[in-house]
Amino acid sequence: MHSVLQGLWPGRGSRVRPPTSIGAQGAPRRDLPPSGGTYLKANEASQVSDRYMDIVSTNIDTMSTSNSTVIEAQGLYKSFEEIKAVQDLSFAIPAGKVLGLLGPNGAGKTTAVKMLTTLLPIDQGSASIAGFDVAERPEAVRRVIGLAGQSAAVDEKLTPRENLELFSWLYKIPRKERRARIEGLIDRFDMTEFADRPVAKCSGGQRRRLDVVAALVAQPQALFLDEPTTGLDPRSRSELWDAVQALAAEGTAILLTSQYLEEADRLSDHVIVLDKGREVAAGSPEALKKRMGQDVLEIHVSSEDDRSTAVGAVTESAVMTSVAGSQQLDINVEGGAAQSLQLLRRIDDAGVSIVDFQLRRPTLDDVFLALTGAPTSDSGVTPS
């Protein structure tokens, strides 16, 4: 199996205009530090599990010039009359990797997903899935993609089992195989409990799970999850995240859109931040956060008096945010744990009893708010 797959992934072909690549083989983003080569290399695609063999094999002819990139977008543009929904969006997602498209409502995330999944014509630029051009071979593209989330729901009147039956029928999965495959999915994604209840009577979490599972019946190479956890409770969200990570681990290339920075942070190998249709930043979640600068040491004390004493104790050596009347100090630290310890010790020596403290990395929230020009959070992080 290894040798067969390796035969399928020849070396990287030359490109006139390399798109942003998650993989180490891509050219680094102009506005980002190199991402350190921790990503998938071409031959690691042999980790792709057996279940991808069929689909992969059928694509040999058209794949001859591509590498492990499954989802590729180059300079996508889309306008709706006056509104420029997507402008110059480029990326490449290899097998087994997750790209997070992050942005507020109206940033162009869903439009991008719809263009890549053949639901919307592309105004300008090009896109391909598993080597098939989205504009020229929409039929072929539809065979290798799965779409779930905001822009693709399930049938509310049918039960989850019936929905899966319908979609596998429409994917032309032979009748004999359907049952086993559906039972396998129901089992794997822990849907037995609600498999025979009309979707309208399922909980939000159950519905979203079915949503994603319905996109998996044909074992897609490329999975598009459009805000898959919007409106979910934390437990259901975390379950869905586990499922997404498992799918990526099996070799599925995943494009995830989210308004939740935590979600993109947790799931994505690479994040593109969109605002008003434009890319405003791109990089690994770590790189993005690093770009936003220092860690923040957040200290809670028990009284206003203690607060001012503490401020006095560290005021020469640190930049801090502390609101008069509060019982909290946020100190920017560059030296990580060592410097934090030093600062804490100094406050302690001044006779202040520290109730609580934490060393906080800037969150993607900080990054996001800074980049999209929305009001910054009170963590003291400023736009770069």
Q: Which residues bind other proteins (CB under 8 A)?
A: 3-4, 6-8, 54, 57-58, 60, 114, 117-120, 139-140, 142-143, 145, 147, 150-158, 162, 166-167, 169-172, 198, 214
Nearer to other proteins, 54 or 356 (CB): 54
The least distance separating other proteins from the CB of residue 354, rounded to whole angstroms, comes to: 51
Nearer to other proteins, 216 or 331 (CB): 216
The least distance separating other proteins from the CB of residue 150, rounded to whole angstroms, comes to: 8
Nearer to other proteins, 210 or 296 (CB): 210
Nearer to other proteins, 32 or 158 (CB): 158
Nearer to other proteins, 4 or 83 (CB): 4
Nearer to other proteins, 87 or 118 (CB): 118
SS3 assignment for the chain? CHHHHHHHCCCCCCCCCCCCECCCCCCCCCCCCCCCCCCCCHHHHHHCCHHHHHHHHHCHHHHCCCCCEEEEEEEEEEEECCEEEEEEEEEEEECCCEEEEECCCCCCHHHHHHHHCCCCCCCEEEEEECCEECCCCHHHHHHHEEEEECCECCCCCCCHHHHHHHHHHHCCCCHHHHHHHHHHHHHHCCCHHHCCCCHHHCCHHHHHHHHHHHCCCCCCCEEEEECCCCCCCHHHHHHHHHHHHHHHHCCCEEEEEECCHHHHHHHCCEEEEEECCEEEEEECHHHHHHHCCCEEEEEEECCHHHHHHHHHHHCCCCEEECCCCCCEEEEEECCHHHHHHHHHHHHHHCCCCEEEEEEECCCHHHHHHHHHCCCCCCCCCCCC
The least distance separating other proteins from the CB of residue 188, rounded to whole angstroms, comes to: 21
The least distance separating other proteins from the CB of residue 117, rounded to whole angstroms, comes to: 5
Nearer to other proteins, 17 or 172 (CB): 172
C-alpha span between 177 and 76 (Å, rounded): 38
Nearer to other proteins, 155 or 183 (CB): 155
The least distance separating other proteins from the CB of residue 231, rounded to whole angstroms, comes to: 13
The least distance separating other proteins from the CB of residue 375, rounded to whole angstroms, comes to: 33
The least distance separating other proteins from the CB of residue 228, rounded to whole angstroms, comes to: 13
The least distance separating other proteins from the CB of residue 6, rounded to whole angstroms, comes to: 6
